[in-house]
Chain A
Amino acid sequence: MRRVDPWLLSVACLLVLSCGGEPGQVADVATPLETPPLEDYGGIGGDFSLSDQRGEPFELESLRGRPAMLFFGYTYCPDICPVTLSKMSRVFEILGASGQDMATLFITVDPERDTRDKLAQYLDYFGLDTIGLRGSKQETDLVIGQYGGHYALNKEQGETDYFVDHSTTTYLIDQEGRIRFLFGQSDTPELMAAVTRQLLPTID
């Protein structure tokens, strides 16, 4: 008998409830009635420096004045990372004009295989204008540690053909560079948009 993770089960139920139709179909769910308030996570987050997919240096500080969504992933991850990126597209769709300033940051936890080009190609595919970020292993470790996340290269089954176990949190970062919400894998784009809206200017 396979063990069924109750958490996963609830995610599955939630997904079935919220998107009974074809994959990719817009979920027919209204904004949740009660939007969780923004929070403060004093202990984690903060500024960092990495390189973007064009090889240009990137500082989180350069985004001051703009909110951002940040998550960790790797481009050989063809199931859940595409889901996260597609979910982001939907969040932007829901936010419309009020979300136009928000940046999306994808930090690779696999800089060894995720070359600049690979990262650029992968992110272009999703058409989100995502800033793809990479650093040396040391730099990557530093940033993910700073954000309270973790990752592990799972090289048991090959030096080139490995998985990377990683945190699936999506961080909502405000205009001052502070983390204001942690989204989990099960959070719907509707909820993410509703939470994010609290940071954004109201546009009629």
Chain B
Amino acid sequence: MDPALFRVNFASPLLLVTLLGCGESIGVRDAWIREPPPRSPAAGYLIIENRSALPVEFVGAETAAAERTEIHAMEYGDGKMTMRRADSVTVPADGKVALQSGGTHLMLMKLRRELQAGDDVTLVLRFADGTVKRVVAPVRKGGYATR
């Protein structure tokens, strides 16, 4: 191994901490947007994985495709659906959270352009620890399957 590289790796604990801290400890995958009916907001789904020993708070998302992106928490009880805006979602330590149809999900409000199956939407996800994740979410016809 190149001694210089060796030195860099071990002489820069700060770099290491930085990489571990806001680099890859949070992963986002399987993002997609349900193609919205005309003039409706669009629902977004994804999975957030937390590979660190501490819980992380997902605090919000943005996209150029919509004026506002909100976290919507949905609950069922007694045959009734209630929905409310949520400020954040906790991703447990060494765990994951699925933002999915029928549960907590993202809602792209006041779309700036029409979204159709085949489009890609870039979502910027923010976490309380300062981590910012960018993810490309394809727009798909949703169907009834949820995941």
Name A's B-contacting residues (CB within 8 A).
1-2, 5, 7-8, 11-12, 15-16, 19-25, 27, 75-80, 82-84, 86-87, 89-90, 118, 121-122, 125-126, 149-150, 154, 157, 161, 163, 165-169, 182, 184-185, 189
Contacts and interface: CB of A to CB of B under 8 A. Distances in A.
B103 interface: yes
A-B pairs, top 9 by smallest CB distance, nearest first, are A24-B143, A19-B145, A87-B144, A86-B144, A165-B82, A125-B37, A79-B43, A163-B83, A23-B145
B37 A80 contact: no
B80 A24 contact: no
Nearest to A73: B81
Contact of B143 (A1, A25, A168): A25
B40 interface: yes
A8 B103 CA distance: 8
Nearest to B143: A24
13 contacts: A2-B90, A22-B145, A23-B32, A23-B143, A25-B145, A79-B101, A79-B105, A83-B102, A122-B39, A161-B109, A165-B82, A167-B79, A189-B144
Contact of B142 (A83, A154, A169): A83
Contacts of B103: 8, 12
B140 A24 contact: yes
B89 to A, nearest CB: 8
A110 B102 CA distance: 20
Given A8-B76, A165-B81, A80 B144 contact: no
Contact of A122 (B40, B89, B100): B40
Nearest to B83: A163
Interface in B8-52: 32, 34, 36-43
B92 A1 contact: yes
B142 A23 contact: yes
Interface of B: 32, 34, 36-43, 72, 74-77, 79-85, 89-90, 92, 97, 100-103, 105, 107, 109, 140-147
A141 B142 CA distance: 31
B40 A76 contact: yes
A177 to B, nearest CB: 21
Given A21-B145, A79-B105, 10 more contacts: A1-B90, A7-B77, A22-B140, A23-B32, A78-B41, A122-B37, A157-B85, A165-B80, A165-B82, A168-B76
B16 to A, nearest CB: 30
A154 B101 CA distance: 20
B41 to A, nearest CB: 5
Given A1-B92, A78-B36, A79-B43, A168 B81 contact: yes
Given A75-B37, A76-B40, A78-B42, A166 B142 contact: no
A19 B107 CA distance: 23
Given A23-B32, A125-B38, A161-B109, A80 B79 contact: no
Contacts of B97: 2
Contacts of B142: 23-24, 82-83, 86
